[in-house]
Amino acid sequence: MRAHQIMTRQVITVATGASIVDAANIMLDKHISGLPVVDKAGKLVGIVSQGDFIRRAEIGTERKHGRWLKYLVGAGREASDFVRERGRKVGEIMTPDPCTVTEDATLEDIVELMERNNVKRLPVVRGDQLVGIVTRSNLLQAVAGLTRGVPDPTANDDHIRNHIIATVEKTDWAPFGLGVIVANGVVHLSGVITNEQSREATIVAAENVSGVTSVHDHLCWLEPISGAYVNSEEDEKVLRAN
């Protein structure tokens, strides 16, 4: 399988000049752990993640540099830490020049890159344009939906996937972070919904695409006020069985 077959296409981004408060609120509201950072031209320039908020002066967790450490790391490192711990804009605390993959990257390449660089997400680019993002959750969904013995999706499977995404994403009820995996006509849907009507509509949209033989529901219901998650009935059955 390739990156474009499992990636999330609706990528939420943040600008370099946005405040860190805005970035933190977006991650909390959308229940995501990282955001690609783009410049004024829309070019990917960095990633801001939960890890960038761990060492912060506001909560008293900034690094304490002892006298000998200051001598070893030098003034430059200390100055950089100061900016990351007290910077008010996303561009000041982000990780610049993030690792990326292309749409044709294999899952093996993606996993190796994640492990080698100790990252949980990889932006997917076409040239210098951001077209998607692959996270550990996308990989987990691929593992849950497909077994090692299933061959790579065919061109027809790609057509089915693209048709489902195009149909659902243009609606007002589209699940957030919609994920669609198709292999031999078998569809696996993932993402976050806030009402059961959206679940039913998404399943129906998939069932109505020619070539679909069955649809598996992995859509997670989110209670907007409390933030509580509820797995799909299908996933709950699997969890109880295990």
Residue 163 has pLDDT above 90, yes or no: yes
Backbone angles phi, psi at 13, to 5 degrees: -120, 170
CATH class of the domain comprising 146-241: alpha beta
Look at residue 148 in the predicted model and tell me its pLDDT. 43
Joined tokens for residue 113: 């890159």
Residue 68 has pLDDT above 70, yes or no: no
Look at residue 51 in the predicted model and tell me its pLDDT. 85
Percent of the chain with pLDDT over 70: 85
Residue 71 has pLDDT above 70, yes or no: no
Mean model confidence pLDDT for the chain: 85
Every domain of the chain and the residues it spans: 146-241
Look at residue 54 in the predicted model and tell me its pLDDT. 83
> How many helices (H) does the chain have, and how many strands (E)?
9, 11
Residue 151 has pLDDT above 60, yes or no: no
Spatial CA neighbour of 220 closest among 182, 194, 184: 194
Q: Kindly give the interhelix angle for 155-169 and 196-207, rounded to the nearest 10 degrees.
A: 140
88-97 residue pLDDT tens: 899 898 999 8
Are β-strands 14-15 and 34-38 bridged in parallel, bridged antiparallel, or unpaired?
Answer: parallel
165-177 residue pLDDT tens: 999 999 999 999 9
Joined tokens for residue 61: 């967790």
List, in sequence order, every beta strand (DSSP E) within 89-239: 95-96, 101-102, 121-126, 129-135, 176-183, 186-193, 214-222, 229-230
For residues 201 and 155, the model is more confident at 201
115-143 residue pLDDT tens: 999 999 999 999 888 999 999 888 877 77
34 by DSSP, 3-state: which? strand
Spatial CA neighbour of 219 closest among 165, 163, 173, 175: 175
| pTM, 2 dp | 0.61
Look at residue 149 in the predicted model and tell me its pLDDT. 46
* Distances 201 to 122, 189, 198, 217 between C-alpha atoms, Å: 30, 12, 5, 12
194-236 residue pLDDT tens: 999 999 999 999 999 989 999 999 999 988 777 788 889 988 8
Type and span of the H or E element at 36: strand 34-38
Look at residue 83 in the predicted model and tell me its pLDDT. 63
